[in-house]
Amino acid sequence: MTSPAHSLPVPIPRWAYAVALVALVVTWLVLQENGIALGHAAETVHEFFHDGRHALGVPCH
């Protein structure tokens, strides 16, 4: 009765969760990293993305 293709399930492979984890880590590195993962090098990352962090509403200094 309803069009079947629209409600079709899309099988999600196991590696999809690895992709999601990588995506979360990348987001963390760009927007949140303050030294937990990168240590002293975090300052460079932090300063490089600084305008982006503020513009995207992330708490900063």
Partner 1 sequence: MSTDEGLTYKGLTYKGLLARGVGAGAVSGLLAGLVGVLVVEAPIRAALAVEQARPAEPGGGHEHGELFSRGTQVVGGVLAAVVVGVAVGALFATAYARSRRWFTTEAPFVRAVALSAAAFGAAAVLPAVKYPANPPGVGAADTVEYRTVLYLGLIAAGLLVAVGASALASRLGRWSPPVRATAVALAAVAAVVVLLVVFPATPDTVPSDVPGGLLWEFRLASLAETATLWLGLGVVFGLLVDPATRRAEASAV
Partner touching 9 among partner 1, Zn ion, none, CB below 5 to 8 Å by kind: partner 1
Print the binding letters for residues 14-53 with partner 1: x by CB under 8 A, - otherwise.
--x--xx-xxx-xx--xxx-x--------xx--xxxxxxx
57: left (phi over 0), alpha (psi -120 to 50) or beta: left
Residues 41-60 that bind Zn ion (CB under 5 A): 60
Q: Which of 9, 38, 39, 42 binds partner 1 (CB under 8 A)?
A: 9
